[in-house]
Structure 1
Amino acid sequence: MPVIEYRMFFNNNPATREQLDRVEEITVEQEVDMAWEARVEIPVCVDDRGRWTGEDEDFMRSFSRVRVEIKIGEGSFAPLIDGPIVGYDSRMSSEPGQSSITLTVRDDSVYLNREENVSRFENLLDHEIAAQIFGEFEQIASTDIEDTPASGSSLPPVVVQRGTSMQILRSLARRQGMHAYVLPGESPGESVGCFKTFPAQTDGLAPLILLGENRNIETLNSRNNAQSPSTVRASTLSVTDKTVTVRTSSFRDLELMGEEAAFESETETATRILPPHLGESVDLDQAVSAEAADASYAFEATGTVRGHCYQGVLQPYRVVRVLGINSRLSGDYLITQVTHTLDRSNYGQSFTVRRNARSAGSRGGLEDLAGSIF
């Protein structure tokens, strides 16, 4: 059974033994397209004179920084969250041992979501705007940004947006079929600004296994939404030469996470028409492909890791292989949500994963499991 270790940083400094001893439980909620949030429970008590103690320490104050890292077995420490304290909940009781303060910590996207402005960007592609916005915040030490195509319009691109920096980033990402988010960096206080599409390939995470000698998850509950996969059409009118451009998505352009699409036949798929809000601001091929890719995730599953048996740290925006279900559903899945729960003796992970494909074959899950592992 692997040894599980964790460590914390307060205001970018390693937590002292006294500070660590005060932490009762940590819960970290991670989800795509949402700010990640941690809840840190710290017990409080009264002294001999009836005064509350331990509720107003410097490291517990608003916008003090908290970072939590976890290590399983021989792996390296993986950061779960790194950001400011944005609030707290207090629970006071006259009974001994029943009082506590729960700190709420969010990732550094908080700083990008505090000031509303009307922003104007001229002659910049969407990924260049993203780089400019991320560069305005000292909490973002580096970026991971994918290029976006030009719109194809003969007019120079002009983007005028009202909202916070994070709202603008997510609006730009959404129309490109991308996602804007902030991840904890390798060092405390050095977060990474991301503007990317979802991955479709695994990157080294250990597989999740439901059945067999090496099983490491307790449950896996899956569902299929057969109405989701869709062909997407869109059209736009050029304001310069009055021509109409029409584009239709193709399932052949999708990057599948398995050998076969999530539907039996293209005749069973729905048809959607994009609303005309994009105009000439986005390449139309990119727009229909992005919408079709988002709708292609017909399979979703939720599960719970089995105690100390899993030697990986799950995180959204990564791909993990799931084995031991059946031959059609076993395969690669995109992680979209993870809840990490850590107390003095246990560490648990519950997760939600999505998939836009099926694996080939019809054999039993255990046969596929053996072949996949060995």
Structure 2
Amino acid sequence: MPLSSLRLTVLVGATLPVPLPADLTARLRSVRVLETDDHRSAFTLVFDAGRSGPFALRDTPVLEAGPIRPFARVVLVVTIGALPRVLFDGIVTALELDPGDRPGAAVLTVTGEDVSYLLDRVETDAEYPSLSDYQQVQLILAQYLVDGIVSGALSPPDAAPPLPLERVPTRHATDLGHLAELARRHGFVAYVIPGPAPGTSTFYWGPPVRSGPPQRCLSVNLGPDTNVRSLRFRTDALAPVLVDGDVQDPLTGAQVPVTTAGSLREPLAAEPLWLRFNADVRRRREVRDSGTDVIGAVTRAQARVDRSVDAVVAQGEADGERYGDVLRPRALVGVRGAGWSHDGLWYVRKVDHTLEPGSYIQRFTLARDGHGSTVPVVRP
């Protein structure tokens, strides 16, 4: 599915993905990949399922002779110019055949989820005596090296293991469910990053990525440099929330107050909404825990505040070929040409990639904590 400077390669296999045969590649009509910062990524492949060729009398050729099967591994590689990027690494979870009502109208739709599905297959009960949350994460992820999934876990600030006489960590979930629950306790996120090589992925477990080098910028109203087809902004003044409450110390039994003053995240806006209108921000008593340590309660309260402060949201659509790269969620991107209030750095929440012959569209959702750019210029 080539554009003038873009090429899509589809690899499929039961265990080791290999390039899709040429006859099946020719039948590929469209590809869609949906990536968000709060759900498992998913893909959809649409094939022409017309019955032609030597296998047509018996069955649809796409199903008869191809490697596309339930639970097959699918890797999508986008090459822009000379730079290949792994767009997706996942597992086939569903196939839908529509024979159509006329010759040439048959369609096979293949859908699947990213390789974090492999961590979500078996629900178990287990105990982790004397293991910190970080140690539990590393122990679980080590099992999936054979599947090409490597650990990208970062240690949280409160990484001390619990004393066995105080508490024994337990789980009643799948590996993925347990990793996600451990992440929530620290205001962390847990997700799979495809690549860098086909057939490999990195499982990231750590704080949301809101620093570091941004991706190639999104440009609006800049003449020949424009790569955004549409872009709009919305401010939700009710999004930020401050949290307080009380927690009972498990050693002394005393009630210890827990308060939050604001977000501890590095601001992406010059005027964060929660700070500019602090007196009007909603306040909630959401900490009423007992049997947990004070540090853990404070960490969870702060995580709730940090998750709420992104009050300004941008939605738009970029031309993939003009943009010249694959826009990724859970990372930063620069915006220019929208004016000081909305230019600058943004956190990417969601990207919906659609590839068809002659077209590559990236629909995106961005977020940050307020208005005004914190940087004089953004990376082109």
Q: Distance in 2 between matches of 1:338 and 1:217?
A: 13
Is 1:33 paired with 2:38?
yes
Tell me the CA shift for residue 50 of structure 1.
Answer: 5.0
Q: Distance in 1 between matches of 2:6 and 2:355?
A: 10
Q: Which amino acid aligns with 2:280?
A: E
Q: Which residue of 1 aligns with 2:181?
A: 171
Is 1:98 paired with 2:105?
yes
Question: Contact between 2:243 and 2:287, CA under 8 Å: does it hold in 1?
Answer: no
Secondary structure of the residue aligned to 1:233 is strand
Question: What is the aligned residue count?
Answer: 366
Counterparts in 2 of 1:101-120, with a 5 A limit?
101-120=108-127
Match of 2:365 among 334, 337, 352: 352
Q: Distance in 2 between matches of 1:209 and 1:112?
A: 38
Match of 2:73 among 51, 65, 69: 65
Tell me the CA shift for residue 62 of structure 1.
Answer: 1.0
Using the TM superposition, name which of 122-131 and 270-279 deviates more: 270-279
Tell me the CA shift for residue 275 of structure 1.
Answer: 4.1
Match of 1:79 among 71, 78, 86: 86
Q: Which amino acid aligns with 1:14?
A: P
Question: Contact between 2:247 and 2:287, CA under 8 Å: does it hold in 1?
Answer: no
Q: 1:217 to 1:148 in 2, by over 3 A?
A: same
Q: 1:253 to 1:277 in 2, by over 3 A?
A: same
Question: Contact between 2:263 and 2:305, CA under 8 Å: does it hold in 1?
Answer: no
Question: Contact between 2:320 and 2:326, CA under 8 Å: does it hold in 1?
Answer: no
Q: Distance in 2 between matches of 1:187 and 1:242?
A: 52
Q: Distance in 1 between matches of 2:119 and 2:38?
A: 14
Counterparts in 2 of 1:224-239, with a 5 A limit?
224-239=235-250
Counterparts in 2 of 1:253-264, with a 5 A limit?
253-263=264-274, 264=276
Q: Which residue of 1 aligns with 2:219?
A: 209
Tell me the CA shift for residue 99 of structure 1.
Answer: 0.3
Secondary structure of the residue aligned to 2:316 is strand
Question: Contact between 1:151 and 1:280, CA under 8 Å: does it hold in 2?
Answer: no
Q: Which amino acid aligns with 1:7?
A: T
Is 1:286 paired with 2:294?
no
Secondary structure of the residue aligned to 1:334 is strand
Q: Distance in 1 between matches of 2:321 and 2:329?
A: 20
Gaps of 5+ in 1: 362-367
Q: 1:47 to 1:359 in 2, by over 3 A?
A: closer
Q: What fraction of aligned residue pairs are identical, expressed as a percent?
A: 22
Question: Contact between 1:203 and 1:318, CA under 8 Å: does it hold in 2?
Answer: no
Counterparts in 2 of 1:144-223, with a 5 A limit?
144-150=152-158, 156-213=166-223, 214-223=225-234
Q: Distance in 1 between matches of 2:357 and 2:366?
A: 28
Q: Distance in 2 between matches of 1:278 and 1:112?
A: 31
Q: Which residue of 2 aligns with 1:271?
A: 283
Question: Contact between 1:2 and 1:311, CA under 8 Å: does it hold in 2?
Answer: no
Secondary structure of the residue aligned to 1:166 is helix
Question: Contact between 1:45 and 1:52, CA under 8 Å: does it hold in 2?
Answer: no
- Compute the TM-score of the two structures, normalised by the length of structure 2: 0.88
Pairwise CA RMSD: 2.5
Q: Distance in 1 between matches of 2:281 and 2:149?
A: 43
Q: 1:140 to 1:274 in 2, by over 3 A?
A: farther
Question: Contact between 2:287 and 2:301, CA under 8 Å: does it hold in 1?
Answer: no
Question: Contact between 1:222 and 1:299, CA under 8 Å: does it hold in 2?
Answer: yes
Tell me the CA shift for residue 2 of structure 1.
Answer: 6.6
Question: Contact between 2:187 and 2:207, CA under 8 Å: does it hold in 1?
Answer: yes
Q: 1:60 to 1:249 in 2, by over 3 A?
A: same
Q: Which amino acid aligns with 1:8?
A: V
Secondary structure of the residue aligned to 1:136 is helix
Secondary structure of the residue aligned to 1:79 is strand
Q: 1:151 to 1:267 in 2, by over 3 A?
A: farther
Q: Distance in 1 between matches of 2:219 and 2:290?
A: 43
Q: Which amino acid aligns with 1:274?
A: E
Q: Which amino acid aligns with 1:208?
A: L
Q: Which amino acid aligns with 1:91?
A: D
Tell me the CA shift for residue 188 of structure 1.
Answer: 2.7
Question: Contact between 1:119 and 1:160, CA under 8 Å: does it hold in 2?
Answer: yes
Tell me the CA shift for residue 36 of structure 1.
Answer: 1.0
Tell me the CA shift for residue 360 of structure 1.
Answer: 5.7
Q: 1:130 to 1:350 in 2, by over 3 A?
A: same
Over residues 72-128 of structure 1, what are the superposed CA-to-partner deviations in whole Å (9 max), with x where a residue is unaligned?
235x21112112211111111241111011111211111111111122222222122
Using the TM superposition, name which of 351-360 and 59-68 deviates more: 351-360
Is 1:19 paired with 2:24?
yes
Question: Contact between 2:263 and 2:302, CA under 8 Å: does it hold in 1?
Answer: no
Match of 1:127 among 106, 130, 134: 134
Runs (4+) of structure 1 exceeding 6 A deviation are: 151-154
Q: 1:210 to 1:135 in 2, by over 3 A?
A: same
Q: Distance in 1 between matches of 2:117 and 2:159?
A: 31
Is 1:335 paired with 2:337?
no
Tell me the CA shift for residue 199 of structure 1.
Answer: 1.4
Q: 1:359 to 1:96 in 2, by over 3 A?
A: same
Over residues 158-210 of structure 1, what are the superposed CA-to-partner deviations in whole Å (9 max), with x where a residue is unaligned?
22221211111111111210111112122232221111111112524111111
Secondary structure of the residue aligned to 2:26 is helix
Secondary structure of the residue aligned to 1:308 is helix
Tell me the CA shift for residue 35 of structure 1.
Answer: 1.3
